Amino acid sequence: MAKNILITGASSGLGAGMAREFAKRGDNLALCARRLDRLQQLKDELAAAHPQIKIAIRTLDVTDHAAVFGVFRAFRDDLGSLDRVIVNAGLGQGVPIGKGDFARNKAIIETNFIAALAQCEVAMEIFRAQKHGHLVIVSSMSAMRGQRGGLTAYAASKAGVAALAEGIRADMLRKPAIKVSTLFPGYIRSEMNAHADPKHTPYMIDGERGARLLVEAIEREPAKAYVPWWPWAPLGYLMHRVPLSWVAKLL
C-alpha cells in the first residue's frame, strides 16, 4: 500500500535520491527544500516516470521554525495524512573551533539540531493526532564520538539529533503504531562532500547506492540502522570503545 512520505532537504543529494527510490515503490511524496526550482525539476522528473503517484512540493528553510510547522501541516492537508517524515535537511563541513568562524559552526548546530527539533515537534504532533506514523531522523556515523577539525560542530549536532530521536522513541514504547528510526550513514557521495579528500572519506559509496540502502533500511522501520551495515556497524562498535586518538584517525 502506498505511503505518504515527507522528506526535508529534498532538492539534492540524499534527499532527492531517497525521493527517487520511494517513487519507484509507488509512494506519494511531500518534498521541501530551500531551492524551489530544483524541487520543481525533481517533481517533473518523478511525475513523468511515475504518473500514478502524488507529488507535492513547497519551499522551506528549516531554520524558519514557524514555516516548518506551517509547511508540514499543509503537506498533511495536501495528502490527507503523513505516514512517514524523514528529517534529512542539514549542513556539513564546519571550521575548527576557535579558528574564527563561529557563524558557520552556529549555522550547523541551528540547522542540524534546533531545526530538526522543530521538524520532530510538528511531525510527532501529526502522528499523535493520527495515532500512527514513522519518524526518521538522519544522523551520521560522526555522532559516535567527538570529531576533530571541521567536523566538530557537525558531529556534535548529529549526536544531538541521535539522542533526540532516542528520547522520542522512549516516549513511544507504549504506542507501537508510531515508530522512530535513527539512521547512521557512513560516507555517501553527494553535493555536500563532492570535493572531500578521499583520504578523509574512507569506504565512500556512490549516492545512488547510498539512497537505495537508506530507503531499504527505512522500510524495515528499525530503531537504529547503520548504512551501509558493513563496515559501519562494526566501526561504530569500535568507535565507542577505542581511545580518542584512534577515532581521530578513523574519520
Distance CA 98, CA 90 (A): 22
Of 154, 203, 226, 237, which residue is the catalytic one? 154
| DSSP state for residue 205 in the 8-state scheme | B
The single-letter code of the amino acid at 245 is S
Quote the Cα angle for 16-185-204, to 5°: 90
Q: Which residues contact 76 (CB under 8 A, 6 or more apart)?
A: 82, 126
For 178-199, give one letter per residue: b (16+ CB within 10 A) or e.
bbbbbbbbbbbbbebbeeeeee
Specify whether 154 is catalytic.
yes
Task: Give residue for cell 539529533.
Answer: 161
Residues tagged active-site? 154
